[in-house]
A and B are shown apart, each in its own frame.
Chain A
Amino acid sequence: MKRLLIALFCILSLPVFANEPAATQAEATDKEAFSPGEMILHHIGDAHEWHFATLGDEEHGTHFTIPLPVIAYQPAKGLSVFSSSNLAEGKSYNGLKLEHEHLVAEDGSKVYDFSITKNVASLMLSGIILLLVFTAVARGYRKNHGGAPRGVQSFFEPIVVFIRDEVAKKSIGPKYERYMPYLLTIFFFIWFNNLLGLMPGAANLTGNIAVTMTLALLTLIITLASSNKNYWAHIFATPGVPKPLLPIMIPVELIGVVVKPFSLMIRLFANITAGHIVILSFISLIFIFKSIFISPVTLAFGLFINLLELLVAILQAYIFTLLTAMYIGGAVEEHHDADYQMGGGDGAEQAHAH
């Protein structure tokens, strides 16, 4: 039942992106006119350079940009590495050029883009921040052995304990210890990146489908790798389901296995991207109305959404972690719940009786 609900959620959350093509249409119109759709998509999308700000107009102003390395692999030519500044403003380099932030070959051949894009750079930055913060916390434990937590240690300790006691222990059960490093890492990874994404000029990493897909895939792999026979028995011979229904139930259950991580992927991506879109839309109001008097509205709503996003940042990290823990818990569970067993007994008896 829960799995079906999750599937439903996935479908319901899709319409959030349905209106996005409408936004892109605007770019075809007047070059000079401000196009909020284009601006928003540019901000939430990935880029081959890290652009902070532009003073003056688009063509003659000063751009504050950090060029990032482009790493392209072409089956014919092999690997090529160069700075993204070579591709600025639609220039082509080494037979490669950027088309709507997509690396394409001029001759139309296949290009695999492994560039250090804005998102990858942000990812590396967040990785370094995570390592610095948590090795500092760990150092606190070593230095302050057995004592009460101090400083940054006392800020993160309750969160770590919460993840351990409320998420891992409750959802996974006695085998929780093996999964603690993964759960803690995804929680803090998502939280830190959600917060980094809210910074001005930062990348929208956790609102990128590739990132959430990778995280969801890791969860799926860990779930399947740690699944025991009960898990598979539940899929192929769901207790309480009469035998004739199994041909229907088995595909549903198998779809459920995939839908669970799929929902994780969509939920995180949609929540973070939607938040960015809303904030950017409020900011765009100023430019759409071309009036300074709209700015109080923009400011008030923007501030409100931004604060909401701070909450969403930790909430989504928590939900992702909790659901991951629950999926793992379902895979390592030794016995089914008592009511399941009872249901199974009743169903089996009824099946025999008829």
Chain B
Amino acid sequence: MDLITPNIGLVFWQLVIFLIVLFLLAKFAWKPILGSLKEREDSIENALRMAEQAKLEMQQLKAGNEKLIAEARLERDKMMQEATQMANQLIEQAKDKATEEGSRMIMQAREAIQNEKHSALAEVKNTAAKLSIDIAERILRRELTDAGSQQQLVDSYLKDVKLN
């Protein structure tokens, strides 16, 4: 029975000493220990989070770079395409212009030739007329020397001309 009868003195000392130990440990041991543990865990967690963030940023950077490169490539392609197009256009234009110029020149030449031809023909005509008149004059001059034939001619004319 002695064993399971609590002694008032021991209860008193246990309470006093335990509470003092509890208070002192709480103040001088548990607070700094738990505080440091928490701090360290927080710092580890922060470091991990920062590493994760850095990784993410790195990935983003890489992705950005790739995007930039792709964009640059696209831009270059576009520029090249545009240049080619422009060159083609220029060539086309030059060709058109040349063709036009050529045809215009041909036309002019043709016109000039036509004009030359007309004038030449007119000249030929004039010359021919002059020659014919000359020839006619000469023929006439020879023919009219003969009186009978003159008469004949006049008669023929007269025959044609009816007097009314």
A residues neighboring B (CB under 8 Å): 17, 20-21, 41, 44-46, 71, 100, 112-117, 119-120, 123-124, 127, 130-131, 134-135, 137-138, 141-142, 145-146, 157, 160-161, 164, 177, 180-182, 184-185, 189, 208-211, 213-215, 218, 269, 273
Contacts and interface: CB of A to CB of B under 8 A. Distances in A.
A20 B34 contact: no
Contacts of B9: 71, 112-115, 117, 120
A132 to B, nearest CB: 10
A210 B10 contact: yes
A120 B8 CA distance: 12
Interface string B134-159: 00000000000000000000000000
B11 to A, nearest CB: 5
A134 B29 contact: yes
A134 B3 contact: no
Nearest to B33: A138
Top 4 closest pairs, chain A to chain B, by CB: A134-B29, A181-B26, A141-B36, A210-B6
Given A146-B43, A210-B7, 20 more contacts: A113-B9, A114-B12, A117-B7, A119-B10, A120-B17, A123-B13, A131-B29, A141-B36, A146-B39, A157-B37, A160-B34, A164-B37, A180-B30, A184-B30, A208-B7, A210-B6, A213-B11, A214-B14, A215-B18, A218-B15
Interface residues of B, number: 36
Nearest to A134: B29
7 contacts: A112-B8, A114-B12, A115-B9, A117-B9, A123-B18, A131-B25, A211-B10
B163 interface: no
Contacts, number: 126
B2 A41 contact: yes
Interface string B58-72: 000000000000000
A185 B21 contact: yes
A209 B21 contact: no
B3 A181 contact: no
Contact of A116 (B13, B18, B20): B13
A44 B3 contact: yes
Nearest to A14: B4
Interface of B: 1-15, 17-18, 20-22, 24-26, 28-37, 39-40, 43
Most chain B CB within a 10 A radius of its CB, from A116, A138, A211: A138
Contacts of A160: 33-34, 37
A141 B37 CA distance: 9
Contact of A17 (B4, B26, B33): B4
A138 B34 CA distance: 9
Most chain A CB within a 10 A radius of its CB, from B2, B3, B26, B43: B3
A218 to B, nearest CB: 7
Given A134-B25, A180-B30, A184-B25, A45 B37 contact: no
Given A123-B13, A135-B28, A41 B3 contact: yes
Contact of A185 (B2, B26, B31, B39): B26
B22 to A, nearest CB: 5
